[in-house]
Structure 1
């Protein structure tokens, strides 16, 4: 199992200046390697029997891939000796980042979804470098030994669990300082608890009136962190726009604006984790709608949707449930608010209608509560729950063993 912990770094002034210098050099190398790939792609993207609209007649050369670009690093250190002051594996990780970015542009990710054309990074947008390997015992007390940087102070607000090993370490520069993200690995594999209570299942419906409503009728108020901070953000943004570009005062104002935005993001993240902890401590199985959050963010409700952070919340919920051996089931969001949770009849209603009244069976309850019950009912047919109920009803071990392998 892999997990990641993030800690605040407290480098000295010399170490902070060295980290900034590394980021500047790594940004330049990233842009150079990306430009090398773009040049080859533009000059060689047409087949040999065709000619592009803009004809190029370059010298033929091999496609720059991960290994060929990696072989250029020794020569780089000879022509630019200051690059030899960067740890070799950190420099090699830049080549890997270029490869991953360019492959997603041409081929797509594991699901076949392609990303946009990679952009050259400005110095202010290149904020992270990674150590792909870390030695055992690199973390000693509140100090971590980063090769070529030395021992840097870490604010260990929580200890590393027993049995976990540090695999990688990333240093990130944010608005309020430097952070260390360590990737931890444990040899054990977390499995779904086969003895969960099939009656301890809940459906949750996320919304903008209430952050979520459970199938039991409980609600969690939506905090609207961004909307509450808009007045303060507006004042700081005006301060930035009134400063002269490239001036020291503007840089200070931009840093202050970044700190304020980070404060809003941290509040939202803390709220998500606390809500997930409350749900997982109460239920063994949680069902939610399989939402297209990107599509909803293109509507007139975009600001409210992004302020709620549904995508981040559902991602945290799935990860924490997996680590705890619990189950999270995404179900289809089609007509969960329109169908009656009691009789199943479709009761059309517009978005501003917040109460569900079924003329067929007389069911009357809140619209979000009705949707949460529908989500729960759709999740009850999941094969895990079927297997558990067959086991509890003692129909037979043969039926149970047939259903369980379908889960993996």
Structure 2
């Protein structure tokens, strides 16, 4: 028989540091919402400025080998703007733009430099697999939604408040407590359709990440599909919910409302916000379904194997809407993370 690539979730592996991420809803005041919008506008401008600096160097210093002109203007030579050189320009930038020094935390500005570096490196060099991304685009304010604190100090939590450096204390909807022993490494504030969210990266080196043994009778394989969301090797099935298709009629009504309204008007902006809120409801329902399905699998089995699917390739076919509505990639990512948190480490291989 032909070999089928499989990925095993929950296989015994090596010990590693426990890392996880928790997301909470923020409840900022009206004044804080205005300040958050101002921060994002300023950081968006800084991102575009740094990206333009990289593009200027790239356009002035590249020359195709097979079409180099005999006579051409030689621009003034300058060093390649990399991560460290752009980071060194921040002190001078704060002198010429003192409001950045007064209002925005320095490490948040430094994280913008890192974002530009990652984006441009993917364009020129590619990712870890060598796959290059397209030409980076300058961000509109509506598309720049996140800023990050690369380091958080101990004691940043005070009840249901989090103290963000140079911003102040913000109320958090603490729907679940942070596990004991975990340390907050980074914090990201993201603007979504229904408000602002806080994403925390947590770390604990003392939590064991290896399950000492597993029951050989609790091993299963799953096959994801479009008729049934998944089918286990024991014949158990999970129905596919089709959240997007069920909400498609409502989304179509709101989308028409957006297209009929004048660009740049307040009424169009209000309709766009309604459309974003409706899309987020669909995404939240899908995510909740993925988490519950992953919990059900890991409560019954110690080892779960699934086929190594080319989801991106399937998403380019005429089945794209159904594939994206099922969200296989997100589900398998959630399944892998929850397996690791349960003391199981994923392992990939081939099965004949």
TM-score w.r.t. the length of structure 1 is 0.79
| Residue of structure 2 in register with 1:57 after alignment | 74
CA distance in 2, matches of 1:217, 1:54: 72
CA distance in 2, matches of 1:69, 1:278: 48
CA distance in 1, matches of 2:340, 2:190: 27
Cα distance, 1:189 vs structure 2 = 5.5
Paired residue secondary structure (1:245): coil
Cα distance, 1:135 vs structure 2 = 0.8
CA shift digits 1:257-299 (9 cap, x unpaired): 0000000000000000000000000000001000000000011
CA distance in 1, matches of 2:283, 2:208: 30
1:77 to 57, 69, 94: 94
Contact 2:209 2:345 in 1 (8 A): no
Counterparts in 2 of 1:174 and 1:15: CA distance versus 1, 3 Å: same
CA distance in 2, matches of 1:243, 1:52: 50
| Residue of structure 1 in register with 2:237 after alignment | 219
2:135 to 100, 117, 121: 117
Counterparts in 2 of 1:278 and 1:253: CA distance versus 1, 3 Å: same
CA distance in 2, matches of 1:53, 1:314: 55
CA distance in 1, matches of 2:69, 2:21: 47
CA distance in 2, matches of 1:95, 1:118: 14
2:343 to 312, 325, 335: 325
2:168 to 132, 142, 150: 150
1:275 to 278, 288, 293: 293
Contact 1:285 1:327 in 2 (8 A): no
| Residue of structure 2 in register with 1:309 after alignment | 327
Counterparts in 2 of 1:3 and 1:327: CA distance versus 1, 3 Å: closer
Cα distance, 1:111 vs structure 2 = 2.5
| Residue of structure 2 in register with 1:188 after alignment | 206
2:31 to 11, 14, 39: 14
Contact 1:10 1:153 in 2 (8 A): yes
Counterparts in 2 of 1:40 and 1:201: CA distance versus 1, 3 Å: same
Whether 1:98 aligns to 2:146 is no
CA distance in 1, matches of 2:151, 2:170: 17
Larger radius of gyration: 1
CA shift digits 1:140-178 (9 cap, x unpaired): 110000111110000000000011011111110000000
- RMSD across aligned C-alpha pairs, in angstroms? 1.9
Cα distance, 1:331 vs structure 2 = 5.9
Cα distance, 1:42 vs structure 2 = 1.3
Whether 1:235 aligns to 2:253 is yes
The runs of 5 or more residues in structure 1 that have no matched partner are: 333-377, 382-408
Contact 1:285 1:329 in 2 (8 A): no
Paired residue secondary structure (2:152): coil
Q: Which has the higher strand share?
A: 2
Whether 1:254 aligns to 2:254 is no
| Residue of structure 2 in register with 1:42 after alignment | 59
CA distance in 1, matches of 2:266, 2:71: 44
- How many residues in Structure 1 have an aligned counterpart in Structure 2? 334
| Residue of structure 2 in register with 1:404 after alignment | none
Divergent runs of 4+, >4 A: 47-50, 52-56, 327-332
Bigger mean CA offset, 266-275 vs 46-55 = 46-55
| Residue of structure 2 in register with 1:166 after alignment | 184
Contact 1:168 1:182 in 2 (8 A): yes
CA distance in 2, matches of 1:41, 1:29: 19
